[in-house]
Amino acid sequence: MLAHLVTIFPEFFDSALKCSIPRIAQEKGTLQVDYVNLRDFTADSYRTVDDYPFGGGAGMVMKPEPIFEAVRSVKRADSWTILFSPRGRKLTQAVVRELAAKPHLIMVCGHYKGVDERVSGFLADDEVSLGDYVLSGGEAAALVLLEAVARLLPGVVGDEESVNTDSFSDGLLDAPWYTRPREFEGHEVPEVLVSGDHERVRRWRRKQSLEITRERRPDLFAHHALSSEDKKLLAE
């Protein structure tokens, strides 16, 4: 995958993309990340990327010209341009999987009060939101998306089963996990996990996943289609 980050703060990403999964994905050649500095596409000596909004109001709005030119400078036939916006579709694991299948992502990182509406209407293919809160810019959102996408790319995570059993992979939260020591400050690992009975472990983890989701994310649980085994586990 090729990812272009359209931003006025390329340095925002420097440290994070040199760590953990994004670093591994780049070293393996599975992910290539390039920056497009919006200020390189301005026409004045001040390299201005924002202006006052028509109709008045507080705050500044990002101008359309630099964004259109920046995106077009790297756009290909198979590109998918994303604008991070509070009104975009919520970033879920299903959306991450969809975007991980794209060969080229162009991520437009807005700032200030907002971005000229013509970017949304005539340039972006998609609008994405991390949640119901406001960030100072789209860079943090782009970093989250890159991290989530990178770990789904083939060969990046050594154990693919680990990725396939993460929270949200099947619409549920994950079961609890434990490691050594077996006893810590008086708290024991559940007996079933050291029983050696793989079927019991599988059923326990499934039940835990169902119960935790029902308790903590009833919105997810309400939309999950329960199998006959799920119903039986919940009834036990």
Enumerate the domain spans of the chain: 2-150, 165-235
Cα pseudo-dihedral 216, 221, 222, 225, rounded to 10: -170
* Side-chain half-sphere CA neighbours of 101 within 13 A: 5
Q: How many Cβ atoms sit within 10 Å of the Cβ of residue 100? A: 17
Single out the residue of 122, 74, 80, 76 nearest to residue 99, CA to CA. 80
User: What does pLDDT average to over the chain?
Assistant: 95
pLDDT tens profile 188-224: 999 999 999 999 999 999 999 999 999 999 999 999 9
Q: How many Cβ atoms sit within 10 Å of the Cβ of residue 44? A: 6
Maximum CA extent, the chain: 71
Structure confidence at residue 169 (pLDDT): 75
Structure confidence at residue 170 (pLDDT): 84
Q: How many Cβ atoms sit within 10 Å of the Cβ of residue 169? A: 13
CATH of span 2-150: 3.40.1280.10
User: Whole-model pTM?
Assistant: 0.89
Q: In a 10 Å sphere around its CB, with 0-12 CB exposed, 13-18 middle and 19+ buried, how is residue 140 labelled? A: middle
Structure confidence at residue 70 (pLDDT): 98
Cis peptide before 66 (omega within 30 of 0): no
Helix, strand, coil percent content, the chain, rounded in steps of 5: 40, 20, 40
When the candidates are 2.40.30.10, 3.90.1010.10, 1.10.150.650, 1.10.1270.20, the CATH number that belongs to 165-235 is: 1.10.1270.20
Q: At residue 233, does pLDDT exceed 90?
A: yes
Both structure tokens of 235: 């009834």
Structure confidence at residue 163 (pLDDT): 67
Distance CA 172, CA 167 (A): 6
